Amino acid sequence: MPKLLNKNYYLILIISAVFGISFWIGFNVNLLPPEASINAPIYDELFKILFIIGLIIFIGMTIAVIYSLFKFRKRKDQFGDGIALEGNLSLEIVWTIIPSIIVLIIGLYSYNIYDRMGGMKELNHSHEMIDSSTEKIWAGISQASNNEVASNNLSVEVSAMQFAFLFNYPKGEFISGELHVPVDHKVSMKMESKDVIHAFWVPEFRIKQDIIPGQPTILNFTPTKVGKYPIICAELCGPYHGGMRASIIVEEESDYKDWFNKNTKTEVSL
């Protein structure tokens, strides 16, 4: 009787240690780049949860394997077989149902995250840049921002080609090789490729969308931190794929206006 108690005591101790370590790592080890859009904290919340659950399972399984190897190793003087245990239905039901529930909860939770990122919006009907109803626009992320005022939105048309991005500002009628955007404003981008598939990725924003020839895609985001971030092509597009980068410059609204006006003027004077 005391022996049994002892065993359970150790088990509980180990399980709580695994949980403790996993939570500690989950909360204290940061594997992600800085957060610079309203998507980023939402993403990082999901990441943290998945990271912790993953660590618990991984550490738990690793301990179980190493412990078994050690505890049940065949000693020199031992012969014969282990116990003839062919299964245990209730145990197997337990480890079918618990993972199912975990997976289901993760699924619902990530659905919620995705919805908060704006991924579940039907883009075909909501986007103001769609000129004709027959044109097929393919979904990207259409994300709600704090100040969802349509007129406040900045619309940019992105075209990608081997091996560069070009940003067309329709309101200013000019094209830029750098993407300048005002902080805390929702940016809507319609993207199309001129040759092969590319992808628009800003790690600090936690967003990515393929840029596909023949099928425009849409990506909306709201930057929250002033700074300069890399735009990276994430889809193999040819020999110089690794060098296909651009910058996104998030600036205060006044700085952005200055930049915008300067460019508009030069373009007009041409």
Partner 1 sequence: MTISIDSQDSNTKSLQPKGWLRYLSFSLDHKVIGIQYLVCGFLFYLIGGTLASAIRIELASPMSDFMPRDVYNQVLTLHGTIMIFLWIVPVVNGAFGNYLIPFYVGARDMAFPRLNAVAFWLIPPSGLMLVASYFIEGAAQAGWTAYPPLSITTPQSGQIIWIMSVLLLGGSSIFGGINFIATIIKLRRPGLKLMQLPMYCWAMLGTSLLVVLSTPVLAGTLILLSFDIVAHTGFFNPVLGGNVVVYQHLFWFYSHPAVYIMVLPAFGLVSEILPVHSRKPLFGYTTMVFSIMGIVVLGLVVWAHHMFTSGTPPWMRLFFTIATAFIAVPTGIKFFNWVATLWGGKISINSAMLFSCGFIINFVFGGITGVALAQVPFDIHVHDTYFVVAHFHYIVYGGTVFIIFSSIYHWFPKVTGKLMSEKLGIIHFAITFIGFNLCFAPQHWLGLNGMPRRVAEYDPQFQFVNQISSIGALLMAISTIPFLINIFLSIKDGKNSGDNPWNALTPEWLTSSPPPVENWKGEAPLVEEPYGYGKPISKEN
3-42 positions binding Cu ion, by CB under 5 A = none
What gap in Å lies between CA 114 and CA 132, rounded to an integer? 28
Long-range CB contacts (< 8 A, 24+ apart) of 166-169?
169/260, 169/263
Task: Decide if residue 32 touches partner 1 (CB under 8 A).
Answer: yes
Task: Decide if residue 197 touches partner 1 (CB under 8 A).
Answer: yes
> What does each C-alpha distance from 183 to 147, 230, 267 come to in angstroms?
12, 16, 24
Residues 217, 183 contacting (CB under 8 angstroms) = no
Cβ-based burial of 204 (10 A; exposed 0-12, middle 13-18, buried ≥19): buried
Pick from 204, 184, 202: which is nearest to 34 by CA? 204
Q: Which residues within the stretch 169-198 sit at the binding site for Cu ion (CB under 5 A)? A: 198
Task: Decide if residue 106 touches partner 1 (CB under 8 A).
Answer: yes
Task: Decide if residue 158 touches Cu ion (CB under 5 A).
Answer: no
Contact with partner 1 (CB under 8 A) among 43, 167, 174, 260 = 43
Task: Decide if residue 211 touches Cu ion (CB under 5 A).
Answer: no
The window from 19-27, 196-204, 248-256, 257-265 that contacts partner 1 (CB under 8 A) reads 196-204
What gap in Å lies between CA 47 and CA 55, rounded to an integer? 12
Bridge partners (DSSP) of residue 167 are 158, 176
Query: Between 56 and 237, whose beta carbon lies closer to Cu ion?
Result: 237
Letters for 140-179 (x = contact with partner 1 by CB under 8 A, - = none) are xx--------------------------------------
Contact with Cu ion (CB under 5 A) among 233, 246, 248, 250 = 233
What gap in Å lies between CA 43 and CA 220, rounded to an integer? 15
Letters for 6-25 (x = contact with partner 1 by CB under 8 A, - = none) are --------------------
| Residue 246 beta carbon to Cu ion: minimum distance, rounded to whole angstroms | 11
Task: Decide if residue 244 touches Cu ion (CB under 5 A).
Answer: yes
User: Edge-to-edge, what's the strand order for the sheet holding 138-141?
Assistant: 138-141, 217-221, 187-193, 154-161, 164-169, 174-176
Tell me which of Cu ion, partner 1, none is bound by residue 147, counting a contact when its beta carbon lies within the kind-specific cut-off of 5 to 8 angstroms: none
Query: Between 95 and 133, whose beta carbon lies closer to partner 1?
Result: 95
Q: Write out the residues near Cu ion by the rule CB under 5 A.
A: 198, 233, 237, 241, 244
